[in-house]
């Protein structure tokens, strides 16, 4: 019951955030252009949607095998990470007042993260060029591919599971959220932080599309910073996990851009705008 409620609440909050963001970032002409050009855009991105869909289905189907391989290898890096980082997360929790921030950062971790993942692709589908969307989908795949490989090879327990001085704040105050996270991830899936890497990926694409969507860049930057901070503040990830996640995000964006460039050329597939058509006609 708790799992279903939290999932339903997450869907509701993400949908509200998506509608609010599109209302802020878009005008009616963009929606009209998309409706008129829907078939072409969908056909253009279908190979990338297919690759992403097949990958995530395969990832889900092999999740149990990955856990068994990880336990068999038993390469536990938790002690090494703690030796490098020390009590950073514990100190962070001590200096941040829980009564003021716990609800906010718990909401950012649970709702802000899926909001970023869903809103970015939809906004880019509403652009005349699908270049950003193609690269974003590939960047998602690279993140999960590298992340899944690391989770299979290495066992790492988060600060809340390794240190008595760190409290799993969100799970302590909102235990029903643990059912959701347990349904999609094991408690050893810590290094790197995919919450960090995927959120940063969305922020990087928001920066690259800041001319088309200046307000989206502002929204995505704020939510991303809050999501990244929440992973440590809530005792889920180490600082080293976050740093690794940022590096993974940058690498995946670069790799996705190069692959799409090789596949389709540097210019991509950009349909002519109404202004350029009018200009050509006047000439």
Residue of 254 and 65 predicted with greater confidence: 254
- pLDDT(242) > 90: yes
> Residue 81 falls within a domain, yes or no?
yes
Q: Residue 74: which domain range?
A: 48-267
36-45, 150-159, 180-189, 195-204: range with lowest mean pLDDT: 180-189
> Residue 13 falls within a domain, yes or no?
no
pLDDT of residue 164: 77
pLDDT of residue 281: 32
> Residue 16 falls within a domain, yes or no?
no
For 26, phi then psi, to 5°, come to -115, 165
> Residue 219 falls within a domain, yes or no?
yes
Average pLDDT over residues 40-56: 90
When divided into structural domains, the chain yields a total of: 1
> Residue 33 falls within a domain, yes or no?
no
221, exposed or middle or buried, with CB in 10 Å at 0-12, 13-18, 19+?
A: middle
Query: What pTM was estimated for this model as a whole?
Result: 0.87
> Residue 131 falls within a domain, yes or no?
yes
Per-residue DSSP letters for 179-191?
Answer: HHHHHH--TT--S
**SS3 at position 163:** coil
Task: Tell me what percent of the chain is helix, strand and coil, each rounded to the nearest 5.
Answer: 80, 0, 20
> Residue 87 falls within a domain, yes or no?
yes
Tokens of 84: 């490098």
> Residue 226 falls within a domain, yes or no?
yes
């Amino acid at each position: 019951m708790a799992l279903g409620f939290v999932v339903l609440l997450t869907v509701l909050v993400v949908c509200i955030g998506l509608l609010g963001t599109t209302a802020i970032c878009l005008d009616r002409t963009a929606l009209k252009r998309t409706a008129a050009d829907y078939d072409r855009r969908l056909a253009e991105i279908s190979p990338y949607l297919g690759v992403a869909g097949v990958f995530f289905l395969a990832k889900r189907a092999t999740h149990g095998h990955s856990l068994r391989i990880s336990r068999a290898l038993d390469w536990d890096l938790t002690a090494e990470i703690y030796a490098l980082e020390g009590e950073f997360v514990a100190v962070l929790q001590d200096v941040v007042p829980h009564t003021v921030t716990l609800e906010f950062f718990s909401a950012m971790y649970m709702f802000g993260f899926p909001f970023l993942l869903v809103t970015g692709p939809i906004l880019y589908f509403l652009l005349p060029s699908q270049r950003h969307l193609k690269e974003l989908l590939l960047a998602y795949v690279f993140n999960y591919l590298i992340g899944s490989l690391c989770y299979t090879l290495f066992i790492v327990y988060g600060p809340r599971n390794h240190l008595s001085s760190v409290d799993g704040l969100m799970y302590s105050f909102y235990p029903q959220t643990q059912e959701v996270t347990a349904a999609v991830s094991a408690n050893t899936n810590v290094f790197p932080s995919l919450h960090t890497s995927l959120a940063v990926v969305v922020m990087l694409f928001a920066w690259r599309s800041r001319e088309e969507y200046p307000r989206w860049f502002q929204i995505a930057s704020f939510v991303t910073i809050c999501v990244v901070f929440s992973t440590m503040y809530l005792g889920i990830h180490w600082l080293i996990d976050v740093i690794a996640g940022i590096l993974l995000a940058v690498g995946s964006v670069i790799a996705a851009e190069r692959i799409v460039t090789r596949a389709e050329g540097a210019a991509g597939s950009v349909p002519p705008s109404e202004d350029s058509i009018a200009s050509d006609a006047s000439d």
